[in-house]
Amino acid sequence: MTEPRAVVAAFIAAIEAKDLAAAGALVAEDISYENVPMQPIAGRDTMVAVLSAFMGPAVAVEWKVLREVAVGNVVANERIDRFQFPGGWVELPVAGFFEVDEQGLITLWRDYFDLSTYTTQMAAVSG
């Protein structure tokens, strides 16, 4: 499976299943994982550690892809990333850009979002 849209779809499905081993297997060892308001995260192992830390407490994860466009090795999508915590749901509108290499591995994952939209909700459900 190397078709970029299929790779990104499989990656998102793995995230929703909270199967971070499967998600990690779909990215290159030297992936750059970039949450634009923050510093880029370098490498598969660090990406998995970061995802584990912030998704670990989630009861459920749903990433709704509202729209997706793909050209060549690039996939861009608009999403609502939803996380259910014991205290309630957090919903974050996100625009994501992905690059997929010829081996079907994600080499770049860059998400644009408003950080305070996330932190404000996280504070509310953690209260």
- Residues in contact with a second copy by CB under 8 A are 36-37, 67, 69-71, 74, 76, 78, 93-95, 97, 110, 112-117
Using CA atoms, how far apart are residues 19 and 26, in angstroms rounded to an integer? 11
Task: Specify the residue, 17 or 69, whose C-beta has the smaller distance to a second copy.
Answer: 69
**In angstroms, what is the minimal distance from the CB of 17 to a second copy?**
25
Q: Say whether 81 is catalytic.
A: yes
* C-alpha 68 chain-centroid distance: 14
Task: Specify the residue, 22 or 113, whose C-beta has the smaller distance to a second copy.
Answer: 113
Neighbours of 49 (CB within 10 A): 13
* C-alpha 24 chain-centroid distance: 11
**In angstroms, what is the minimal distance from the CB of 112 to a second copy?**
4
* C-alpha 115 chain-centroid distance: 14
Q: Say whether 19 is catalytic.
A: no
Q: List active site positions.
A: 81, 111
